[in-house]
Amino acid sequence: MKVDFEIVSGGVQPEIARMVAKIIGTKVLSVQLKEFPNGERYARLEQSVRNKNLFIFCTCATSNSYSLNDALFEAFIIADAAKRASAKEISIVLPLLPYSRQDRKARTREPITAALVLSMLKQAGVERVITVDLHSTQIQAAFSGPFENLSARKLISNKIKEYIHNYQNEDFVVIAPDAGSVKNSSKFANELEIPVIFLPKSRDEANPEIITRQAVQEDLSDKNCIIIDDMIDTGGTIISAANMLKESGAKRIIVCATHGVFSDGAASKIRDSAIDKIIVTDSVPQKDSISTLKDKIEVITIAPLLADAIRSINNGDNAVDID
Protein backbone atom coordinates (compact mmCIF):
# COMPACT_ATOMS: atom_id res chain seq x y z
CA MET A 1 0.00 0.00 0.00
CA LYS A 2 1.35 3.40 -0.98
CA VAL A 3 1.32 5.68 2.05
CA ASP A 4 0.43 9.23 1.00
CA PHE A 5 -1.05 10.45 4.25
CA GLU A 6 0.03 11.18 7.81
CA ILE A 7 -1.27 9.99 11.17
CA VAL A 8 -1.16 12.17 14.28
CA SER A 9 -2.51 11.59 17.76
CA GLY A 10 -3.82 13.50 20.73
CA GLY A 11 -2.44 12.91 24.18
CA VAL A 12 -5.00 10.35 25.39
CA GLN A 13 -4.20 6.79 24.35
CA PRO A 14 -1.70 7.51 21.53
CA GLU A 15 -0.90 3.77 21.41
CA ILE A 16 -4.01 3.22 19.26
CA ALA A 17 -2.57 5.50 16.57
CA ARG A 18 0.80 3.74 16.86
CA MET A 19 -0.79 0.30 16.44
CA VAL A 20 -2.74 1.46 13.37
CA ALA A 21 0.40 3.02 11.87
CA LYS A 22 2.34 -0.21 12.43
CA ILE A 23 -0.37 -2.28 10.71
CA ILE A 24 -0.38 0.05 7.72
CA GLY A 25 3.41 0.38 7.60
CA THR A 26 3.97 4.00 8.54
CA LYS A 27 4.73 6.08 11.63
CA VAL A 28 2.86 8.59 13.74
CA LEU A 29 3.75 12.20 13.04
CA SER A 30 5.22 14.06 16.02
CA VAL A 31 2.98 16.62 17.69
CA GLN A 32 4.02 18.90 20.54
CA LEU A 33 1.26 18.84 23.15
CA LYS A 34 1.22 20.67 26.44
CA GLU A 35 -0.98 22.34 29.01
CA PHE A 36 -0.32 25.85 30.23
CA PRO A 37 -0.53 26.59 33.98
CA ASN A 38 -3.95 28.22 33.48
CA GLY A 39 -5.35 25.01 31.92
CA GLU A 40 -5.20 26.06 28.26
CA ARG A 41 -4.10 23.39 25.76
CA TYR A 42 -1.45 23.82 23.06
CA ALA A 43 -0.61 21.74 19.97
CA ARG A 44 2.00 22.13 17.24
CA LEU A 45 2.64 19.77 14.33
CA GLU A 46 6.39 19.21 14.26
CA GLN A 47 6.60 18.25 10.58
CA SER A 48 5.07 19.61 7.40
CA VAL A 49 1.60 18.37 6.41
CA ARG A 50 1.22 20.63 3.38
CA ASN A 51 -0.98 18.98 0.70
CA LYS A 52 -1.18 15.75 2.71
CA ASN A 53 -4.22 13.85 3.92
CA LEU A 54 -4.16 13.82 7.71
CA PHE A 55 -5.81 11.34 10.08
CA ILE A 56 -6.04 12.75 13.60
CA PHE A 57 -6.61 10.15 16.33
CA CYS A 58 -8.28 11.60 19.40
CA THR A 59 -9.60 9.42 22.20
CA CYS A 60 -12.01 11.59 24.17
CA ALA A 61 -11.96 10.18 27.67
CA THR A 62 -10.78 11.11 31.14
CA SER A 63 -7.21 9.88 31.50
CA ASN A 64 -4.09 11.04 33.34
CA SER A 65 -4.10 14.86 33.29
CA TYR A 66 -6.99 15.00 30.79
CA SER A 67 -10.69 15.43 31.28
CA LEU A 68 -13.00 14.39 28.45
CA ASN A 69 -13.44 18.05 27.51
CA ASP A 70 -9.65 18.60 27.52
CA ALA A 71 -9.28 15.76 25.03
CA LEU A 72 -12.10 17.08 22.86
CA PHE A 73 -10.70 20.60 22.79
CA GLU A 74 -7.28 19.18 21.91
CA ALA A 75 -8.93 17.57 18.87
CA PHE A 76 -10.21 21.00 17.81
CA ILE A 77 -6.81 22.68 18.07
CA ILE A 78 -4.88 19.88 16.33
CA ALA A 79 -7.36 20.08 13.45
CA ASP A 80 -7.06 23.87 13.36
CA ALA A 81 -3.26 23.61 13.32
CA ALA A 82 -3.47 21.17 10.40
CA LYS A 83 -5.86 23.40 8.46
CA ARG A 84 -3.59 26.43 8.94
CA ALA A 85 -0.61 24.28 7.88
CA SER A 86 -2.33 23.61 4.51
CA ALA A 87 -3.21 19.94 4.99
CA LYS A 88 -5.08 18.66 1.95
CA GLU A 89 -7.83 16.76 3.79
CA ILE A 90 -8.35 16.36 7.53
CA SER A 91 -10.06 13.28 8.94
CA ILE A 92 -10.61 12.79 12.64
CA VAL A 93 -10.76 9.37 14.27
CA LEU A 94 -13.00 9.51 17.35
CA PRO A 95 -13.60 5.87 18.37
CA LEU A 96 -16.18 7.05 20.90
CA LEU A 97 -17.86 10.24 19.76
CA PRO A 98 -18.11 12.52 22.82
CA TYR A 99 -21.59 13.67 23.77
CA SER A 100 -23.08 11.09 21.37
CA ARG A 101 -25.95 10.33 23.78
CA GLN A 102 -27.04 13.98 23.68
CA ASP A 103 -28.35 13.53 20.16
CA ARG A 104 -31.87 15.00 20.48
CA LYS A 105 -34.04 17.36 22.47
CA ALA A 106 -35.86 15.17 24.97
CA ARG A 107 -37.19 18.22 26.81
CA THR A 108 -37.69 21.88 25.98
CA ARG A 109 -34.74 24.28 26.28
CA GLU A 110 -32.16 21.47 25.96
CA PRO A 111 -29.16 21.58 23.58
CA ILE A 112 -28.32 18.91 21.02
CA THR A 113 -24.71 18.71 22.12
CA ALA A 114 -23.67 15.92 19.74
CA ALA A 115 -24.63 18.14 16.80
CA LEU A 116 -22.73 21.05 18.35
CA VAL A 117 -19.57 18.92 18.68
CA LEU A 118 -19.76 17.91 15.01
CA SER A 119 -20.34 21.51 13.97
CA MET A 120 -17.27 22.65 15.94
CA LEU A 121 -15.16 19.90 14.35
CA LYS A 122 -16.26 21.12 10.92
CA GLN A 123 -15.39 24.70 11.85
CA ALA A 124 -11.95 23.54 13.00
CA GLY A 125 -11.26 22.10 9.54
CA VAL A 126 -12.32 18.46 9.85
CA GLU A 127 -13.72 17.12 6.58
CA ARG A 128 -14.31 13.48 7.56
CA VAL A 129 -15.33 11.81 10.83
CA ILE A 130 -14.51 8.19 11.69
CA THR A 131 -16.23 6.64 14.72
CA VAL A 132 -17.04 3.16 16.02
CA ASP A 133 -20.55 2.04 16.97
CA LEU A 134 -22.35 5.33 17.44
CA HIS A 135 -24.94 5.30 20.19
CA SER A 136 -27.44 6.92 17.80
CA THR A 137 -26.61 6.58 14.11
CA GLN A 138 -28.91 9.41 13.04
CA ILE A 139 -26.49 11.98 14.47
CA GLN A 140 -24.36 11.46 11.33
CA ALA A 141 -26.80 13.79 9.58
CA ALA A 142 -25.50 16.68 11.69
CA PHE A 143 -22.11 16.56 9.92
CA SER A 144 -21.87 17.92 6.37
CA GLY A 145 -19.20 15.59 5.05
CA PRO A 146 -18.15 11.93 4.90
CA PHE A 147 -18.95 10.06 8.11
CA GLU A 148 -17.65 6.52 8.61
CA ASN A 149 -19.42 4.77 11.51
CA LEU A 150 -17.49 1.52 11.82
CA SER A 151 -18.82 -1.56 13.58
CA ALA A 152 -16.91 -3.68 16.09
CA ARG A 153 -19.59 -6.39 15.93
CA LYS A 154 -17.44 -8.89 14.04
CA LEU A 155 -14.54 -8.45 16.46
CA ILE A 156 -16.82 -9.07 19.42
CA SER A 157 -18.81 -11.92 17.84
CA ASN A 158 -15.59 -13.73 16.95
CA LYS A 159 -14.56 -13.53 20.59
CA ILE A 160 -17.96 -14.83 21.71
CA LYS A 161 -17.63 -17.74 19.27
CA GLU A 162 -14.49 -18.75 21.14
CA TYR A 163 -16.49 -19.00 24.36
CA ILE A 164 -19.26 -20.97 22.63
CA HIS A 165 -16.65 -23.35 21.23
CA ASN A 166 -15.02 -23.77 24.65
CA TYR A 167 -18.39 -24.64 26.19
CA GLN A 168 -19.92 -26.31 23.14
CA ASN A 169 -22.02 -28.75 25.17
CA GLU A 170 -23.77 -25.92 27.01
CA ASP A 171 -26.70 -23.68 26.06
CA PHE A 172 -26.13 -20.03 25.14
CA VAL A 173 -28.63 -17.21 24.74
CA VAL A 174 -28.24 -13.50 23.85
CA ILE A 175 -29.90 -11.07 26.27
CA ALA A 176 -31.13 -7.63 25.21
CA PRO A 177 -31.01 -5.64 28.49
CA ASP A 178 -33.29 -2.82 27.29
CA ALA A 179 -35.45 -1.78 24.36
CA GLY A 180 -32.66 0.21 22.71
CA SER A 181 -30.43 -2.85 22.44
CA VAL A 182 -32.94 -5.24 20.84
CA LYS A 183 -31.90 -4.58 17.23
CA ASN A 184 -28.18 -4.94 17.88
CA SER A 185 -28.67 -7.98 20.13
CA SER A 186 -30.79 -9.66 17.45
CA LYS A 187 -28.01 -9.18 14.90
CA PHE A 188 -25.53 -10.86 17.24
CA ALA A 189 -27.94 -13.70 17.97
CA ASN A 190 -28.55 -14.35 14.26
CA GLU A 191 -24.84 -14.39 13.53
CA LEU A 192 -24.15 -16.73 16.46
CA GLU A 193 -27.22 -18.85 15.63
CA ILE A 194 -28.54 -18.74 19.19
CA PRO A 195 -31.81 -17.37 20.67
CA VAL A 196 -32.34 -13.81 21.89
CA ILE A 197 -34.41 -12.75 24.91
CA PHE A 198 -35.54 -9.19 25.69
CA LEU A 199 -35.51 -8.06 29.34
CA PRO A 200 -37.83 -5.07 29.84
CA LYS A 201 -36.79 -2.45 32.37
CA SER A 202 -38.18 0.77 33.81
CA ARG A 203 -36.48 3.78 35.39
CA ASP A 204 -37.67 5.83 38.33
CA GLU A 205 -38.88 9.21 37.02
CA ALA A 206 -37.47 11.09 40.01
CA ASN A 207 -34.15 9.20 39.96
CA PRO A 208 -33.28 7.70 36.53
CA GLU A 209 -30.35 5.80 38.06
CA ILE A 210 -32.84 3.49 39.81
CA ILE A 211 -33.75 0.60 37.48
CA THR A 212 -36.46 -1.96 38.16
CA ARG A 213 -37.08 -5.31 36.41
CA GLN A 214 -39.39 -8.26 36.86
CA ALA A 215 -38.21 -10.61 39.60
CA VAL A 216 -37.46 -13.75 37.56
CA GLN A 217 -37.13 -14.65 33.88
CA GLU A 218 -38.28 -18.15 32.95
CA ASP A 219 -36.30 -20.69 30.87
CA LEU A 220 -32.83 -19.46 31.85
CA SER A 221 -31.83 -22.28 34.19
CA ASP A 222 -28.22 -23.47 33.50
CA LYS A 223 -27.91 -21.23 30.44
CA ASN A 224 -24.90 -19.08 29.52
CA CYS A 225 -26.28 -15.58 29.02
CA ILE A 226 -24.58 -13.05 26.73
CA ILE A 227 -25.56 -9.42 27.27
CA ILE A 228 -24.83 -7.14 24.30
CA ASP A 229 -24.73 -3.34 24.50
CA ASP A 230 -22.93 -0.53 22.68
CA MET A 231 -21.64 1.12 25.86
CA ILE A 232 -21.09 0.39 29.55
CA ASP A 233 -21.06 3.65 31.48
CA THR A 234 -22.19 3.50 35.12
CA GLY A 235 -23.09 -0.17 34.70
CA GLY A 236 -26.59 0.13 36.17
CA THR A 237 -28.38 -1.53 33.25
CA ILE A 238 -26.12 -4.55 32.91
CA ILE A 239 -25.73 -5.11 36.67
CA SER A 240 -29.50 -5.11 37.21
CA ALA A 241 -29.89 -7.48 34.25
CA ALA A 242 -27.11 -9.78 35.49
CA ASN A 243 -28.57 -9.97 38.99
CA MET A 244 -31.97 -10.93 37.61
CA LEU A 245 -30.40 -13.52 35.29
CA LYS A 246 -28.49 -15.10 38.15
CA GLU A 247 -31.66 -15.23 40.25
CA SER A 248 -33.33 -16.92 37.27
CA GLY A 249 -30.75 -19.71 37.35
CA ALA A 250 -28.29 -18.54 34.70
CA LYS A 251 -25.04 -20.51 34.80
CA ARG A 252 -22.65 -17.92 33.39
CA ILE A 253 -23.12 -14.24 32.46
CA ILE A 254 -20.91 -12.67 29.79
CA VAL A 255 -21.27 -8.95 29.03
CA CYS A 256 -20.02 -7.46 25.74
CA ALA A 257 -19.82 -3.82 24.70
CA THR A 258 -17.83 -1.75 22.24
CA HIS A 259 -17.22 1.12 24.65
CA GLY A 260 -16.24 0.38 28.24
CA VAL A 261 -16.50 3.83 29.86
CA PHE A 262 -16.86 2.52 33.45
CA SER A 263 -17.62 5.86 35.11
CA ASP A 264 -18.71 6.49 38.70
CA GLY A 265 -17.01 3.39 40.12
CA ALA A 266 -18.66 1.05 37.62
CA ALA A 267 -15.65 -1.30 37.43
CA SER A 268 -15.78 -1.95 41.18
CA LYS A 269 -19.54 -2.50 41.06
CA ILE A 270 -19.15 -4.97 38.19
CA ARG A 271 -16.35 -6.77 40.00
CA ASP A 272 -18.71 -7.42 42.91
CA SER A 273 -21.72 -8.28 40.72
CA ALA A 274 -23.10 -11.50 39.24
CA ILE A 275 -21.24 -10.85 35.97
CA ASP A 276 -18.64 -13.50 35.16
CA LYS A 277 -16.88 -11.87 32.18
CA ILE A 278 -16.72 -8.44 30.53
CA ILE A 279 -15.59 -8.08 26.91
CA VAL A 280 -14.92 -4.54 25.62
CA THR A 281 -12.71 -2.86 23.03
CA ASP A 282 -9.94 -0.32 23.60
CA SER A 283 -12.01 2.54 22.15
CA VAL A 284 -11.23 4.25 25.47
CA PRO A 285 -8.33 3.50 27.85
CA GLN A 286 -8.86 0.36 29.94
CA LYS A 287 -5.81 0.43 32.21
CA ASP A 288 -7.81 1.29 35.36
CA SER A 289 -10.62 -1.16 34.62
CA ILE A 290 -8.11 -3.96 34.00
CA SER A 291 -6.48 -3.16 37.33
CA THR A 292 -9.86 -3.41 39.08
CA LEU A 293 -11.49 -6.27 37.17
CA LYS A 294 -8.31 -8.31 36.48
CA ASP A 295 -9.25 -11.66 34.84
CA LYS A 296 -12.90 -10.65 34.72
CA ILE A 297 -12.28 -8.33 31.75
CA GLU A 298 -11.00 -9.01 28.24
CA VAL A 299 -10.06 -6.11 25.94
CA ILE A 300 -10.14 -6.40 22.14
CA THR A 301 -8.21 -3.86 20.10
CA ILE A 302 -9.98 -1.94 17.34
CA ALA A 303 -6.66 -1.03 15.66
CA PRO A 304 -7.14 -3.50 12.73
CA LEU A 305 -10.66 -2.13 12.15
CA LEU A 306 -9.37 1.46 12.01
CA ALA A 307 -6.42 0.47 9.82
CA ASP A 308 -8.77 -1.17 7.30
CA ALA A 309 -10.91 1.96 7.23
CA ILE A 310 -7.90 4.20 6.55
CA ARG A 311 -6.74 1.84 3.80
CA SER A 312 -10.17 2.01 2.14
CA ILE A 313 -10.30 5.79 2.36
CA ASN A 314 -6.72 6.23 1.16
CA ASN A 315 -7.21 3.80 -1.76
CA GLY A 316 -10.38 5.56 -2.87
CA ASP A 317 -12.65 2.56 -2.35
CA ASN A 318 -16.35 3.17 -2.86
CA ALA A 319 -17.22 2.73 0.81
CA VAL A 320 -15.77 1.67 4.10
CA ASP A 321 -17.13 -1.65 5.36
CA ILE A 322 -19.01 -0.56 8.46
CA ASP A 323 -20.39 -3.98 9.32
Q: Which DSSP symbol is given to 270?
A: H
Do 50 and 136 fall within a single domain? yes
Q: Which residues constitute the domain of residue 287?
A: 153-300
Do 218 and 129 fall within a single domain? no
Lowest-confidence segment of 79-83, 179-183, 186-190, 307-311 by average pLDDT: 179-183
Residue range 202-238, pLDDT digits in tens: 555 555 555 554 555 667 889 999 998 899 999 988 8
Between vectors from CA 97 to CA 24 and to CA 290, what angle results, nearest 5°? Answer: 75
Q: Is 81 a domain residue?
A: yes
Do 157 and 292 fall within a single domain? yes
Q: Is 230 a domain residue?
A: yes
Do 97 and 211 fall within a single domain? no
Which amino acid is located at 53 in the chain?
Answer: N
Residue range 28-66, pLDDT digits in tens: 999 999 999 999 999 999 999 999 999 999 999 998 889
Number of domains in the chain: 2
pLDDT at 237: 84
Active site residues: 201
Do 219 and 275 fall within a single domain? yes
CATH for 164: 3.40.50.2020
Do 63 and 22 fall within a single domain? yes
Do 201 and 253 fall within a single domain? yes
Do 168 and 295 fall within a single domain? yes
Host H or E run for residue 80: helix 68-84
Residue range 91-106, pLDDT digits in tens: 999 999 999 999 999 8
Do 310 and 287 fall within a single domain? no
Strand order in the sheet with 128-132: 5-9, 53-57, 89-93, 128-132, 147-150
Residue range 100-144, pLDDT digits in tens: 999 999 899 999 999 999 999 999 999 999 999 998 899 999 999
Interatomic CA distance for residues 82 and 172, integer angstroms: 49
Do 266 and 182 fall within a single domain? yes
Q: Which DSSP symbol is given to 28?
A: B
Do 246 and 126 fall within a single domain? no
Closest of 149, 103, 99 to residue 129, by C-alpha: 149
pTM exceeds 0.85, yes or no? yes
Q: Is 218 exposed, middle or buried (0-12, 13-18, 19+ CB in 10 A)?
A: exposed
Residue range 149-169, pLDDT digits in tens: 999 999 999 999 999 999 888
Q: Is 321 a domain residue?
A: no
